[in-house]
Structure 1
């Protein structure tokens, strides 16, 4: 059964309130939709992007969010509460999470590499700090699901050339190298790595139950080659760690991470590894429909061994769909 289905909603929600922050992006929309369908009351908190948006009243903002629901917006409206927050405003964030049993914490980085810089890094780290601190001060809080990225896992100095070992396969224990990210101005990777490390430090210090979802490149409408995740994409391809994830699967994984009693630590979340020339061509066409559909000559792209794994997430999803925890190999 799909985690986003309506049937198990009463047992899943139990009258609880959860917060989605920042709810303004595609993943936020998908999560709000699933959580409302599962019976939760949803605090949809959005970070202001400008004076005009800040002046928009909550009713109009709620109406805009309801338009993104797959069905039943009118029926769910009474369980949707919209909040305005700011990464630097702890009190506004605390207002949004007050009374919630769970928080889905994400930060929507700019869609264009040119707009993702050191300021983005600072803002995202501050947001992570304030959200986790607010969660630690919320008596009703049961679990935080923190949205990170595979870019917080895969970037590090290259291994020695053959015949030396080619480096270990990336998994939940792997972290991107901060100095390497700074050196090559991999701002998306640096922001996700620093913000996730900040969140983990606070969660462990304050005793907050937190699970992190390290997502591959989310695919969906509006994705272009300018996305900051894709800076250095040829190097990720050569290293066998260029991965993507369908937005619906990513949203389902977040729900599973929140509701599964055995969920813990970090989960690498992707459903496609780009390791063959035809995979690269398909991704290139997705990013730019005008791109050639033919496979490049064999001397330009080669089949790359996949050097990243998500077995831990696959086990979580199997347990969540079956309702049997801790017994699946």
Structure 2
């Protein structure tokens, strides 16, 4: 769908632009005629040297989600924000304390958006792990979708720290957005299939259970970027959007993914194959697919 504004006059911020998702968003937004404020953590500016863009349309802002004033600086004159979180470099692993870190960052960013009069819309990157982890997930009559939330206590009980962090951070963002009148949509993405994806990725904790329940979903980088831009440009977008373009629900799918994650592993654990060639998908992204029908690159 064509945006409801003149792209060349529109300025947006991407935070953190030094992530693979953030950097690719910057590339695509520049190609669509946006002016982009690329907000990066320390030591992330170098990768933007390769972008052949008018310096007047790409501005780099060293910022920190825990430094409120640096967020305000990056948001100045912007009408939109694309926000994604990755752990600070000195805290690279998700653990039981990461939720506090991610919640604090989300709070700071949404508060800064509320204080920036030019901000019209926020696209908040979350995860499918903020949807799927529930005690009743196997007994639900309807497929899981963006109306469902992961149970924080369930996540804590089984040490699903990624799901717990994403759930608490997204709920914090939604609470603040509603309280401050910030127009926000969220993208709840499946496992992002990047070149450097490894078995240590925190999203993969509980992978066998996700597979057996028919809710193990992945997303390609280009599709995820298009979804972010699509929900931003569509004036009718609202709420949460589950985003994935593949479901791991056959034994062959699981084997291929396991080989990608652990090339040296001889075979999958038996739990990955319960004698079924196909596991019924129990998760739906119809809401996003309906919106993306009208999206044009």
TM-score by length of 2: 0.91
Asked whether the 8 Å contact 1:143–1:258 carries over to 2, the reply is: yes
Which blocks of at least 5 consecutive residues in structure 1 are unaligned? 54-60, 68-72, 323-329
Q: Are the structure 2 counterparts of residues 298 and 219 from structure 1 closer, same or farther at C-alpha, using a change threshold of 3 Å?
A: closer
TM-score by length of 1: 0.83
Residues 182-261 of structure 1: pairs in structure 2 closer than 5 A: 182-261=156-235
The worse-fitting range, judged by mean Cα deviation, of 187-196 and 290-299 is: 290-299
* Structure-2 residue corresponding to 1:177: 151
1:167 offset after TM fit, Å? 4.8
* Structure-2 residue corresponding to 1:65: 48
CA RMSD across the alignment: 2.6
* Structure-2 residue corresponding to 1:19: 13
Note the alpha carbon deviations across 1:243-302, whole angstroms, 9 max, x for none.
000001000100001111111110000000011101111211222333458998965665
Residues 29-68 of structure 1: pairs in structure 2 closer than 5 A: 29-48=23-42, 53=43, 62-67=45-50
- Secondary structure of 2:33's match? coil
Distance in 1, Cα, partners of 2:217 & 2:181: 32
1:9 offset after TM fit, Å? 9.6
Q: How many residues align?
A: 295
Distance in 2, Cα, partners of 1:28 & 1:180: 30
- Secondary structure of 1:76's match? coil
1:168 offset after TM fit, Å? 3.4
Aligned: 1:89 with 2:106: no
Asked whether the 8 Å contact 1:15–1:40 carries over to 2, the reply is: yes
2:129 is matched with which residue: 141, 151, 156? Answer: 151
Asked whether the 8 Å contact 2:4–2:233 carries over to 1, the reply is: no
1:181 offset after TM fit, Å? 0.7
Note the alpha carbon deviations across 1:27-74, whole angstroms, 9 max, x for none.
0111000111111111111234xxxx3xxxxxxx5442243xxxxx23
* Structure-2 residue corresponding to 1:117: 95
1:10 offset after TM fit, Å? 12
The worse-fitting range, judged by mean Cα deviation, of 8-17 and 262-271 is: 8-17
Q: Are the structure 2 counterparts of residues 142 and 167 from structure 1 closer, same or farther at C-alpha, using a change threshold of 3 Å?
A: same
